[in-house]
Amino acid sequence: MDAWVRFMAPLVPQTAGALMRAIDQRLAQGATHLHLMISCPGGSVFHGLSLHNFLKGMGVTVSTYNFGSVDSIGVVIFCAGAHRYCVPNARFHIHGVKLGFNGQIQVDEKALEEHIKLMKTDYTNIARVIAATTGKEEKAIVKAMNNQTSLMPEQAREYGLVHEIRSQLVPAQAGMTVIYEDGSSFTYGPAPVQQDFAAVTPVTAVQPGMTGAVAETFTGTAFGYTGSLDSAS
């Protein structure tokens, strides 16, 4: 069963949690092929690497789609796709890991050294993911990260990030779970199959015990409706 999820948000705890819930729900419903549409400016390295590892190891086929911009740690999530697509006007941006502190946080030398070690570990893990995806050497990816590399679709395909560039990504009848920037989500089902009224077959029969009454029963798939209308002659 195919399942579609659209993620258009920065990767922060709220949005990452919403994405994980959406994936878990789809898996619980029996999904065997997850289609993940991404437009993400980046965000939490912790959540990005965790999502990548989860998507790679959950035992179902994963396809990823860049429908806008996939930057920073968003590239790592995109790399989880066994099949990777993007639209003609998409963009990718690869850069290094930054060490940031909120407010007036103070750290001593030992704590700062520990933060730098963790940052270097994240740097290495991101480079390994992109290298394994593209088939390039890890040193080349580190250089691209240091140079803050941006890739247009054709460049991304040559780079090995993208398999195919195409405009239409989602089948017309597909349902989808949508993750918004505030961490909220919305799920809509497949569009109902509708047929012309010509597909409806009328059946006329005299109902037992109803002298002169005619039951007109309409049975068919038009608008998913089956019903009956009684009229007296």
In SS3 terms, 118-175 reads as HHHHHHHHHHHHHHHHHCCCHHHHHHHHHCCEEECHHHHHHHCCCCEECCCCCCCCCC
- Looking at the chain, list the stretches that DSSP marks H as alpha helix, in order from N- to C-terminal side: 13-28, 45-57, 73-78, 109-134, 138-146, 153-159
Distance CA 181, CA 176 (A): 16
The count of C-alpha atoms lying within 13 angstroms of the C-alpha of 180, restricted to the half-sphere facing its C-beta, is: 5
Residue type, 31: A
Catalytic choice (72, 93, 150, 163): 72
Does the active-site annotation cover 95?
Answer: yes
DSSP state of 25: H
Q: Which residue of the set 95, 115, 163, 184 is catalytic?
A: 95
Quote the CA–CA distance of 127 and 195 in Å, as a whole number: 52
Distance CA 179, CA 22 (A): 8
Q: Which of 166, 161, 165, 188 is nearest to 176 (CA)?
A: 188
Whether 44 sits among the annotated catalytic residues: the reply is no
* Closest of 45, 5, 42, 15 to residue 150, by C-alpha: 42
Catalytic residues: 72, 95
